Amino acid sequence: MRKKIIAGNWKMNKTLEEGKILASEVVNMAKDELRDDVQLVLCAPFVHLGSLQSMLADSTIALGAQNCSNHASGAYTGETSATMLKSIGVDYVILGHSERREYFGETDSLLAEKVDMALENGLLPIFCCGEPLDVREKDGQRAYVQQQIEESLFHLSAEDFGNVIIAYEPIWAIGTGKTASADQAQEMHAAIRKQITEQYGEEVANNTSILYGGSMKPGNAEELLACLDVDGGLIGGASLKSRDFVDIAKSY
């Protein structure tokens, strides 16, 4: 059965000291308060990952990065490879976040290369997809997201696809305080699972975790996480406060 995952995307926030405090608060609260069938993941800035790895080593909380290079190694100044991430104990990597698509020009074909690089190195990609507001207003969200998934993921074998986590994040809901309604989220998640079924069959589709992202917080998490095809959340703003992040995970 598919995993329930609550992943925090810290984005470009927190100094090392602040990040360590946040992580240790999450570790302590999770130990006391959470059921062990919910996988927590902290996706921190690259420079913090090495320090956080040792803090999380004895916990059930996994470590994630927010990006990786599409290249294996070499003269790519400023880049970080999937091999490097794996070598310091990172397990997950967010790929294709809308901010990377919008501000850093990441395309579906570039993301296909990054997904390959992550999988080749044993990282679990959290692949983000989602439509902008103008597409939603024309009811084009299904076709838009289907194309993102097809172009970045459908070259994978069924076995490799089995290691991919999808995060449906409507761009109009990210960091805006606006959340998709439970019906809107369920509709999109069901459409994504149907698309996966058509490509890889029911077993793979039923085992794929599809997370919702977009202003999820303690006050709306229960309703969203109760949807049949919502298997967790990718949390931005609310992951920067340990109490909110753990409360979201407790909503299951």
CA distances from 191 to 68, 141, 158 (A): 28, 10, 19
Does residue 9 belong to the site contacting ligand PEP (CB under 6 A)? yes
Q: Which two tokens stand for residue 245?
A: 């992040």
Q: Which CB atom, from 174 or from 205, has the smaller least distance to ligand PEP?
A: 174
8 or 200, CB closer to ligand PEP? 8
Q: What single letter denotes the amino acid at residue 98?
A: S
Is 71 catalytic? The answer is no
Q: How far apart are the first and last CA of the chain?
A: 16
* Residue 194 or 241 having the CB closest to ligand PEP: 241
Q: Which of 93, 238 has the CB closer to ligand PEP?
A: 238
Nearest to 83 by CA among 70, 94, 95: 70
User: Which of the residues 99, 106, 169, 189 is marked catalytic?
Assistant: 169
For ligand PEP, the binding residues in 156-175 under the rule CB under 6 A are 169, 174-175
Q: Is 202 a catalytic residue?
A: no
129 near ligand PEP, judged by CB under 6 A: no
Minimum distance from CB of 213 to ligand PEP (Å)? Answer: 3
45 token code pair: 């800035």
Of the two residues 169 and 247, which places its CB atom closer to ligand PEP in the complex?
A: 169
Per rule CB under 6 A, is residue 214 in the interface with ligand PEP? Answer: yes
CB-based closest residue to ligand PEP: 236
Looking at residue 244, its amino acid is: D
- Selected binder of ligand PEP within 141, 215, 242, 251 (CB under 6 A): 215
If binding is defined by CB under 6 A, does position 64 make contact with ligand PEP?
Answer: no
Is residue 130 close enough to count as binding ligand PEP by CB under 6 A? no
Q: Is the dihedral of CA 81, 82, 88, 94 positive or negative?
A: positive
- The three-state secondary structure class of 221 is helix
Rounded Cα gap, residues 236 and 219, in angstroms: 15
| Residue 232 sits in the site that holds ligand PEP (CB under 6 A) | no
Q: How many helices (H) and strands (E) does the chain have?
A: 12, 8
Helix axes 182-200, 218-225, angle to 10 degrees: 40
**CA–CA gap between residue 129 and residue 144 (Å, rounded):** 9
User: Which residues are catalytically annotated?
Assistant: 97, 169
Chain residues binding ligand PEP by CB under 6 A are: 9, 169, 174-175, 213-216, 234-238
